[in-house]
Structure 1
């Protein structure tokens, strides 16, 4: 009976080592996913904060510009000046919208490094 138990343990040894290696690889890859997720969150929060600050400051500048132009042309071309400013704002809004849409469509692949590592792992296990 002790011989059968030892042979069973010997048979399970390589399998356990392989499973241990597989789980170690998965743990490493999950840690990599966590790191990439944290980096992406930090990047997005920074971009969001800077974008909101830029929009607020730009809005203040546009309000001041509108008031300045309206005051400067109040006696002669008030509605033409305001129409020109409105057209300029509309064109700028369309430009920004198109750029934002392009930025979303051409965004980098999320978790690219992790996916590359999984591909390397798959290739390693395919080799005989």
Structure 2
């Protein structure tokens, strides 16, 4: 046996190592794709959410001013109190809904994790 024969792994081991590296590379590519998709989704949702909040605040300010002007001479304090109560209820509903959405969100990188589990199961079966 020469020095070169002892340091070169057998062909089957090289083939296995190559296959494992290919699997690992494809999983990394899948993580990258999922990360890009998640980023694009979050940026789009954030922009739409900010725009909705801006227009919602403008509408609420206009409605508040209108209600105060309409009821200024007769029911000024009840009108302002009613508006405050409605705003508080809406804020509570929005906070509860946002919490529920975050709790029900899918697990990040779910497809990648599934593929890693499939790979592990396939390697154990062999």
TM-score band w.r.t. shorter chain: over 0.9
Give the corresponding residue for 2:109: 111
Q: Spell out the pairing of 1:14-93 with structure 2 (5 A cutoff).
A: 14-93=12-91
Name the TM-score, length of structure 2 as normaliser: 0.93
Q: Could you list the runs of 4 or more consecutive aligned residues of structure 1 that deviate by over 4 angstroms after TM superposition?
A: none
Name the TM-score, length of structure 1 as normaliser: 0.92
Give the corresponding residue for 1:121: 119
Q: How many residues align?
A: 125
User: 1:34: Cα distance to partner?
Assistant: 0.2
> Which 5+ residue runs of structure 2 have no aligned equivalent?
none
Looking at structure 2, the residues matched to 8 and 54 of structure 1 have their Cα atoms a distance apart, in angstroms, of 65
Deviations 1:77-105 (Å, cap 9, x if unpaired)? 01100100110000000000011111112
CA RMSD of superposed structures (Å): 1.6
